[in-house]
Amino acid sequence: MSPVVYIEGGGNGDQRLERLFRRSWARFFEAAGLAGRMGRMPRIVRGGSRNRTFGLFARAIADRTEERLPVLVVDSETTVAAESSAWRHLNARDGWDQPHGARNDQVFLMVQLMETWLVADRNTLRAYFGVSFREKALPQWPALEDVAKRDILDALERATARCAKPYSKGCVSFELLARTDPARVENACPHAKKLLDRLRTL
């Protein structure tokens, strides 16, 4: 069975950004060893907005075939309670009902957003932003997935404010993702490990 991964983000119709989005996720997944047993990478679908991403996934579930396994990946946006499943979290936060036929191992959360994964790999941040990168502006958070979305974004903004190319969503975020070490992300972000472990079994 071949996974088709519907991922939140990727710009609004900009073809260059869409290509960069798919290429960056492909490199991240490849570095995580997802070419694996079958030698095939997951097919990556840029979801765009949060609701559009869910809509594309729900449609794929309704039209599912035996050859393809739809997988949904979106930001959690907020803290995920320890006892909460991904579907329960998304129902409480976004009002999304689990589509009929969708399993619990077909939805995964970036907690609390993709930038949390980027912050998990400070080596890549230092190499990408160079000597003007102010690492001290990034606190040594003991549990990254507990850090609020706004705090992550504010810290990245402060740390890169003096850099030639400060942090921003779009090109910079995707270029960083392509360079990010999945092992560091898995070590710091348990929900990321759940996603990568599941994809490695397919």
- Cα dihedral sign, 29-32-37-39: positive
What domains sit in the chain, N to C, each tagged with a CATH number?
2-115+171-200 (3.40.50), 117-160 (no CATH)
Segment 87-146, tens digit of pLDDT: 999 999 999 999 999 999 999 999 999 999 999 999 999 999 999 999 999 999 999 999
The full DSSP string for 103-141 is: -GGGEEEESS-HHHHHHT-HHHHHHHHGGG--GGGS---
Q: What is the pTM of this model?
A: 0.95
The letter for the amino acid at 86 is A
Q: Rounded to whole angstroms, how far apart are CA atoms 20 and 195?
A: 21
Q: In what order do the strands lie in the sheet with 68-75?
A: 43-48, 2-8, 68-75, 107-110
Judged against a pLDDT cut of 90, whether residue 28 lies above it is answered with yes
